[in-house]
């Protein structure tokens, strides 16, 4: 099964650039990446720029509305994601626990839709 691991955290709680905690976090991400690649489960993953760069769009009665900012104004923002392919939720949880942001934020696990059931 494929799972998306959505990384949410409060930027205010994130370690600051140049501190030992920041280096530790980067090392943690590197190690998590390496482990997912070595185990052959990594299907993709990216980090996102901050919510100050976000633009939102919706269509109301046929008219496109474009707005500044993220979908929801929350303290914790979506900061990045991984997509992994593993046998079950327990395996996915084991990889989610490797993501350093879990220490100061939250990782949400969502199974991907299977659009190709005949395969």
Partner 1 sequence: MSPAAPGPAAAIAVARELDRVMRSDRGRLLAALAAGLRDLSLAEEALQEAAISALGHWARSGLPRSPQGWLLQVARRKAIDRLRGAGRDARKAEALARLVVDEAAPEPEAIPDERLRLIFACCHPSLEMKSRVALTLRTVCGLTTPEIARAFLDAEPTMGQRLSRAKAKIAAAGIPFAVPEAELWPARLEAVLTTVYLIFTTGYVAGPGEPRDLCHEAEYLMRLIDRLRPEDPEIEGALAMMLLTAARRAARIGADGASLPPAVQDRSLWDGARLAEGRAILAAAVARRRPGPFQIKAAIADCQMAEPGPDWPQIAALYGALWRHEPTPVVSLNAAVALAEAGEPARGLAIVESLEGHLAGYQPWHAARAALLAMTGDRAAAASAYQQAIALAPGPAEALFLQRMLASLGT
Residues that bind partner 1 (CB under 8 A): 1, 3, 87-94, 109, 111, 114, 116-119
- The least CB distance from residue 115 to partner 1, in Å, is 10
Please state the closest distance from residue 86 (CB atom) to partner 1, in A. Answer: 8
Nearer to partner 1, 20 or 117 (CB): 117
Minimum distance between the CB of residue 106 and partner 1, rounded to whole angstroms?
14
Nearer to partner 1, 77 or 98 (CB): 98
Least CB distance from residue 3 to partner 1, whole Å?
A: 8
Which regions of the chain does DSSP assign to beta strands (E)?
A: 2-9, 42-47, 55-60, 63-68, 77-85, 106-111
* Cβ(81)–Cβ(5) below 8 Å: yes
Q: Which is nearer to partner 1, 54 or 93 (CB)?
A: 93
| Helical spans, DSSP H, in 1-119 | 20-38, 89-96
Query: Do the strands 2-9 and 106-111 form a parallel or antiparallel pair, or are they unpaired?
Result: antiparallel
The phi, psi pair for 70, rounded to 5°, reads -80, 170
């Amino acid at each position: 099964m494929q799972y998306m691991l959505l990384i949410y955290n409060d930027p205010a709680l994130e370690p600051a650039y140049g501190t030992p905690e920041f280096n530790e976090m980067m090392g943690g991400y590197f190690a998590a990446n390496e482990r997912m690649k070595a185990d052959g489960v990594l299907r993709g993953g990216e980090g996102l720029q901050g919510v100050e760069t976000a633009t939102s769009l919706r269509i109301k009665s046929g008219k496109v509305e474009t707005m500044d900012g993220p979908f929801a104004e929350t303290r914790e923002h979506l900061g990045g994601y991984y997509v992994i392919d593993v046998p079950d939720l327990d395996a996915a949880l084991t990889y989610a626990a490797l993501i350093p942001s879990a220490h100061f934020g939250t990782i949400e696990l969502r199974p991907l839709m299977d659009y190709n059931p005949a395969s």
